[in-house]
Structure 1
Amino acid sequence: MNYTDEFRDPVAARGVLAAIERVVDEIGATKDKPLHIMEICGGHTHAIFRYGLDKLTPPGLEFIHGPGCPVCVLPMSRIDECVDIAERPNVIMTTFGDAMRVPGRRKSMMQAKADGADIRMVYSPLDALELARRNPGKEVVFFGLGFETTTPSTALTILQAHADRQSNFSIFCNHITVPPPIKALLDDPYMVLDGFVGPGHVSMVIGIRPYDFIARDYKKPIVVAGFEPLDLLQSVLMVLEQIRDGRAEVENQYARVVPDEGNPVSIAACNEVYQPRPSFEWRGLGEIDASGLRIRDKYAAFDAEVKFEIGYGTGPRFTGEQDGCRCGDVMTGRIKPHACPQFGKGCTPEMPLGALMVSSEGACAAYYQYGGLRLEAVE
């Protein structure tokens, strides 16, 4: 049995689309004055374009693509620092594959590998820990990045390394959290948002309660969503019904996977290993208070920033973008990807200039892959 079929049923989808159109009409939204719904997660952005949901929904509804891909929001300075560590003698740098092509100022990790640095792709931080066991004469560093979805696996790996006293293993920690940038976007006077489709995988770990401030303080509805077409369409309908009814609540469409209170084992591991940074830079968004995680002093032996004397507070930082790159404007909803002058020209998935073209979950890559490449972008 294919358990995705029921979530891709075209008959059911047509029914939900009809309901969406009816509610949009009841609200009075039009193409000239649309409702703006932001999908926070890059996986949702990918699904919207893969299934053409942006073309199926009525013109009175506009999707705004949020900063929902951890690779996409990684600042250039952190790539530079990662390359710096990787190019040192006797270092094996390990990373997930989608981070390899993110451009830094000097080079990407893929280019550093081509230049001779020992950089290896792994599927989990435990793979990196195993490399450390097998290479006692090398310093093995794992490039830890991602939202709350991947923070538990890194935390549990640090706890295992601590128990094993694996002294040649460390983490270059770039884990970030989702709620603070949502607040930053809501505080941005240029942002016009009517509601949110909330991240499913992140919420699997943290639950839905961390989003309470969106409804309570900003009076905006948010619905945590799954990743199949009907998940997304139902979630959009739930957001629209809240807007129509004058409600602002946190709702959970993805209850088959996401418990309201999250995963207590994962939360406990993260609280044991990490503490918030005072601030952390998000590519295109700037410094956001308490949005990044650092490794607690108790586990400083496994903190690559401490071990290699690198990272925040150790020197000047580059906070800009590549010339002509408008990733920041795309992530904040100011422009669509095809409005960037580099889209499809100087920036393609094969040779990305900006981070949004690197990951398949980036808005620019999704536009490019699934037909968002507009004629005016290539003429």
Structure 2
Amino acid sequence: MKYIDEFNDPALARRLLDDIHATATRPWAMMEVCGGQTHSIIRHGIDQLLPEGIELIHGPGCPVCVTPLEMIDKALEIASRPGVIFCSFGDMLRVPGTDRDLFQVKSTGGDVRVVYSPLDALRIAQQNPDRQVVFFGIGFETTAPANAMTVHQARRRGIGNFSLLVSHVRVPPAIEAIMQSPDCRVQAFLAAGHVCSVMGTAEYPELAARHRVPIVVTGFEPLDILEGIRRTVRQLECGEHRVENAYPRAVQDGGNRAALRMLEEVFTVTDRAWRGIGTIPASGWRLSDAYRDHDAEHRFDVGGLTTRESSLCRSGEVLQGLIKPHQCEAFGTTCTPRTPLGATMVSSEGACAAYFLYRRLDATAPRPEEATPVG
């Protein structure tokens, strides 16, 4: 890619849309498993330009949103302790825990700092050898290599006051869980291009074959998404269920080999809870035994917390694709970006935030296919 404008060309978008309209002969439901793609879809109105029977279901693709409440409460507990410098990306600071968020911890004296890289947190640990420095490591496969490399550097350089609070999740097991749900109506997936740029596509063919669903690796610009949808619709209409790479400028089938080696050294696959969904087997990473000394959960012994979700928030149903954000009674009233009930409203990649930012005034009654199962 040379210029972003190349992937926002309205004439090319029209041609792709015309092809999709000409190809689709029946209703189809596909899920994008990426919050960045969700925001691009809503921002550009892509879902409103598609044939009436083509539905885009917004999946659990926001890493902030799926971070479990228990992990948020553990972060709040650690950040509140004296002698701790708690570092995080900025999008985690307003994610609500059971009764507060990191901003509130900061306002009551906790040393909570926004950083732009885990290496910034490692540098803070070097500069403050008498303090414990914790980095909140969340996200999908995309952010995991940088966090793994930072812990690797901490051990290699003997920076013993640095630890990682790990809440990493993996996409393929989430797809498996979605397809096994009795309420599932997903017939195809748009796979997240940045995840596949790290991991490659090796885990997807078996999923596509077993569940008989097309999986198309897709980018984030309007033309990327339209091309992904076009390829997906063509497969659905032909009864195919293959993995296609529609994002070859960034994704290779084998992924990033250096990143994969670092992940294999530092992390171990584990069961992981997803907020609003529950525990998915083998869907996350934890630090391996060799790096246990840098595990913040182990270092600070923060088990046994009692958590409580808001009874008004339906973000779990949003994350599972069971409802659209505007179908939640709290949307835009008691739940707004300033007063979020759930992470899907506060996160920059959350579906509720996308609907509030780009479509709050015209998101009224759902289209028929949003309320009626497809297929």
TM-score relative to the length of structure 1: 0.94
Q: Deviations over 1:332-357 (max 9, x none)?
A: 12111011011001111122111100
Shift of 1:321: 2.5
Q: Deviations over 1:275-297 (max 9, x none)?
A: 012x2110111111111211011
Which segments of 5 or more consecutive residues in structure 1 lack a partner in the other structure? none
Cα distance in 2 between the residues matched to 1:125 and 1:168: 14
1:151 and 1:270 in contact (8 A); partners too:
yes
Corresponding residue of 1:9: 9
Cα distance in 1 between the residues matched to 2:147 and 2:187: 35
Instruction: Kindly indicate whether residue 272 of structure 2 is the aligned counterpart of residue 280 of structure 1.
Output: yes
Cα distance in 2 between the residues matched to 1:186 and 1:213: 13
Residue pairs, 1:187-226, within 5 angstroms:
187-226=180-219
Letter in 2 for 1:108: D
| Cα distance change on mapping 1:187 and 1:317 into 2, 3 Å | farther
Corresponding residue of 1:171: 164
| Cα distance change on mapping 1:306 and 1:245 into 2, 3 Å | same
Corresponding residue of 1:144: 137
Shift of 1:315: 2.4
2:355 and 2:363 in contact (8 A); partners too:
no
Say which of 55, 60, 65 aligns to 2:53. Answer: 60
Corresponding residue of 2:344: 356
Shift of 1:213: 2.3
Cα distance in 2 between the residues matched to 1:149 and 1:317: 30
TM-score relative to the length of structure 2: 0.95
Corresponding residue of 1:236: 229
Say which of 153, 159, 162 aligns to 2:152. Answer: 159
Residue pairs, 1:1-379, within 5 angstroms:
3-25=3-25, 29=26, 34-277=27-270, 279-310=271-302, 314-315=303-304, 318=307, 321-374=309-362, 376=364
Shift of 1:89: 1.1
Cα distance in 2 between the residues matched to 1:151 and 1:226: 19
2:134 and 2:164 in contact (8 A); partners too:
yes
| Cα distance change on mapping 1:168 and 1:289 into 2, 3 Å | same
Shift of 1:372: 4.0
The residue matched to 1:334 in structure 2 has which SS? coil
2:74 and 2:305 in contact (8 A); partners too:
no
Question: RCO higher in 1 or 2 (8 Å CA, sep ≥ 6)?
Answer: 2
Residue-pair matches, total:
365
Letter in 1 for 2:187: D
| Cα distance change on mapping 1:88 and 1:35 into 2, 3 Å | same
Shift of 1:316: 5.5
| Cα distance change on mapping 1:14 and 1:353 into 2, 3 Å | same
Cα distance in 2 between the residues matched to 1:99 and 1:183: 27
**Percent sequence identity over aligned pairs:** 48
| Cα distance change on mapping 1:301 and 1:375 into 2, 3 Å | closer
Letter in 2 for 1:306: H
**Over aligned residues, Cα RMSD in angstroms?**
1.4
| Cα distance change on mapping 1:375 and 1:36 into 2, 3 Å | closer
Cα distance in 2 between the residues matched to 1:133 and 1:36: 50
Shift of 1:60: 1.1
Which segments of 5 or more consecutive residues in structure 2 lack a partner in the other structure? 366-375
Cα distance in 1 between the residues matched to 2:211 and 2:142: 25
